[in-house]
């Protein structure tokens, strides 16, 4: 699918990969980029506008069904179409290591990282079908492909995203909706610093120092490649780090 003149929704758009993808979509000629995040998206909105796109900020909690329904209703009311969804919002354990993570935080990780992806995809399918088809790209993680004992809940949700992606393959034939996911390695985003409460956690530092960090724009470019490649259905596309 070409990006030109399409309506796109990006969750977790306030920073990091979400911000980079929103800006990349605007530069590629998207008709509108809907910025869905619980946090302030003002900086992303400014960058999308600077890139020549129309930004439509929507305060959204992807873990809350009512909030997601309000998001897609707002998109339908304003644009009457939906072509692209980047399910990018995600959180990790932070500085607490498994199994010492508070249960409340564990539940929140599952709700944001997995429940939000499942419900967001489900709510997007019918609007995309009515728009002539669409593409959904989830942000999974390299941590969804291998065990991460220090962040077991995060890794489990990202593995779930990969399996969910593969289980959505039949929707391409039934609804004209392609679903794929991108699995980034170590990316220089605010989440990396959250592993150590404002710094890189000790357990992550050896890897952090051994590889060249990916930039959010690297992942945004991969997302756009997936959107444009109509042959990709149910794929988990890895974007890995290079060793220093």
Catalytic site positions:
154
CA-based nearest residue to 17, from 243, 244, 213, 164: 213
CB within 8 A of 74, min separation 6: which ones? 34, 56, 58
Find where tokens 């692209």 sit.
84
CB 73 within 8 A of CB 32: no
For residue 80, the SS3 value is: coil
CA-based nearest residue to 182, from 134, 222, 136, 232: 222
d(CA 88, CA 194): 17
Q: Please report the beta strands in the chain, taking only residues with DSSP state E, as ranges in sequence order.
A: 7-11, 32-37, 55-59, 84-87, 134-139, 177-184, 211-212, 236-239, 242-243
d(CA 209, CA 131): 46
Radius of gyration of the chain, Cα coordinates, nearest whole angstrom: 17
Secondary structure element (H or E) that encloses residue 158, with its range = helix 152-167
């Amino acid at each position: 699918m070409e990006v030109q003149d399409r309506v796109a929704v990006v969750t977790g758009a306030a920073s990091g990969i979400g911000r980079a993808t929103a800006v990349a979509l605007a530069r590629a000629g998207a008709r509108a980029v809907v910025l869905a995040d619980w946090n302030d998206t003002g900086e992303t909105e400014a960058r999308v506008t600077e890139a020549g796109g129309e930004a439509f900020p929507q305060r959204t909690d992807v873990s809350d069904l009512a909030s997601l329904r309000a998001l897609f209703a707002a998109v339908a009311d304003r644009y009457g179409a939906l072509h692209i969804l980047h399910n990018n919002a995600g959180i990790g354990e932070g500085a607490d290591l498994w199994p010492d993570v508070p249960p409340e935080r564990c539940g929140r990780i599952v709700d944001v990282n997995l429940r939000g992806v499942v419900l967001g995809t489900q709510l997007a399918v019918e609007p995309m079908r009515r728009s002539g088809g669409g593409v959904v790209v989830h942000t999974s993680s390299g941590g969804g492909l291998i065990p991460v004992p220090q962040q077991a809940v995060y890794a489990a949700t990202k593995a779930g995203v990969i399996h969910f992606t593969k289980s959505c393959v039949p929707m391409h034939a039934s609804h004209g909706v392609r679903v794929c996911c991108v699995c980034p390695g170590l990316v220089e985003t605010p989440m990396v610093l959250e592993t150590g409460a404002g710094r890189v956690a000790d357990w992550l530092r050896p890897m952090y120092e051994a590889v060249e960090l990916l930039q959010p724009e690297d992942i945004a470019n991969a997302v756009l490649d997936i959107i444009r490649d109509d042959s990709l259905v149910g794929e988990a596309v890895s974007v890995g780090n290079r060793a220093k």
